Amino acid sequence: MNFFKNIVFLSQLTTNNIKSYFKSRETVTSEPLSTNSINWYGHATTLINLSDIIILTDPVLSNYLGHFFKRIVDKPYELKGKKIDYILLSHGHMDHMDFPSLRKLDKTATIIVPRGYKRLMKIFGFKKIIVLRHNEVYEDDKIKITSIKALHDGRRYYMGIDDESHSYLIERNNKKVFFAGDTAFTEKFTSLECDVALMPVGCYKPDRFAYMHCTPEESYRMFKMMNCPAMIPIHYKTFKISLENSYDTINILKEFNDDNLKIINIGQTYKL
């Protein structure tokens, strides 16, 4: 039964992506990043400015994932050559750890990775590589980053033992940003204190994806379990890697009628 469900899923996914090849990418805004702000670059890629220290999450700068999944929106700006202080990688899936993108990035940045990816980052040319396990902390004189376990199988091709997926709490001066990465519903974030939570809301169809992806309702529920005044939905609207419609996702989010839910578009900046 699972075999035939997979065939149906892959057929639908392939059809949706082939259709996208014949459509122009959606245009987006390109708002500047300012002191103490967050810009959504697309999918799980965000650029965070905390007191003029720049943090980049799960960078995917490519127009295609794996030479097949077309980026369906424009990139808001180019990140190649931009000064980055820290890069956070939540796990090994190609929509979060894009090898061509990593090759283009500032190699002086401190890059934080899950277990199993240190050697690869060395090959890409990064000089300062920090491996974090769940519940471990990296701290220097500029920033504090805490790893929190995400409920997600992070193995790149679902092989081997390096399956850890991270969410990160990022702290600098008096600001705290929570980056959930990719996760199914979990109570691990209960009572977490932060100024804003970057929460995934996509990749939940078909329903069997629920074992490692959250629905918009579950994402919002996790947010409401935190001690946090604002949630920014991410991890949608960028690639067709699942079967839900992004417009349906937005409508679900709007139905919560919650001013603490900050629905921004790709390329827009949220001020902390």
User: pLDDT > 90: what percent of the chain?
Assistant: 73
Give the list of residues 6+ apart from residue 79 with CB closer than 8 angstroms, or none: 41, 47, 56, 59, 61, 104, 105
Report the pLDDT value the prediction gives residue 154, as an integer from 0 to 100: 67
Spell out the SS3 assignment of 143-197: CEEEEEECCCCCCCCCCCCCCCCEEEEEEECCEEEEECCCCCCCCCCCCCECCEE
The pTM for the full model equals 0.94
pLDDT > 70: percent of the chain: 97
Q: 211 falls in which pLDDT band (50, 70, 90)?
A: confident
* Residue 20 to residue 74: CA distance in whole angstroms: 13
Query: Of 12-26, 136-150, 209-223, which has the strongest mean pLDDT?
Result: 136-150
Residue 18 phi, psi dihedral angles, 5° rounding: -60, -40
CA 66 to chain centroid, in Å, comes to 17
How far, in Å, CA of 234 to CA of 203, rounded?
11
**Among 212, 204, 238, which residue's Cα sits nearest to residue 154?**
212
d(CA 20, CA 38): 29
Q: Per-residue pLDDT tens for 216-230?
A: 999 999 999 999 999
Of 175, 176, 217, 177, the closest CA to residue 200 belongs to 217
Q: How confident is the model at residue 2 (pLDDT cuts 50, 70, 90)?
A: confident
Please check the confidence at residue 79 and state whether its pLDDT lies above 60. Answer: yes
Q: Is the pLDDT of residue 272 over 80?
A: yes
Domains of the chain: 2-271 (3.60.15.10)
Mean pLDDT computed over 149-164: 73
Quick check: 143 and 175 in contact, CB under 8 A? no
**Chain segment 23-78, per-residue pLDDT in tens:** 999 999 999 999 999 999 999 999 999 999 999 999 999 999 887 899 999 999 98
Which backbone phi and psi does 58 adopt, to 5 degrees?
35, 65
CA distance 108 to 106: 6
CA 152/CA 212 separation, integer angstroms: 5
> Where residue 157 falls among pLDDT bands split at 50, 70, 90?
low
- Kindly give, in sequence order, each residue whose CB lies less than 8 Å from that of residue 228, ignoring residues fewer than 6 positions away: 178, 192, 193, 194, 195, 196, 197
Instruction: Answer with the residue of higher pLDDT: 6 or 160.
Output: 6
pLDDT digits (tens, 9 = 90+) for 92-126: 888 889 999 999 999 999 999 999 899 999 999 99
**Tokens 């794996």 appear where?**
66
Please state whether beta strands 110-113 and 64-65 pair in parallel, antiparallel, or not at all (unpaired).
unpaired
Return mean pLDDT, the chain. Answer: 92
CA distance 71 to 240: 8
Lowest mean pLDDT across 14-23, 159-168, 233-242: 159-168
| pLDDT given for residue 41 in this prediction | 97
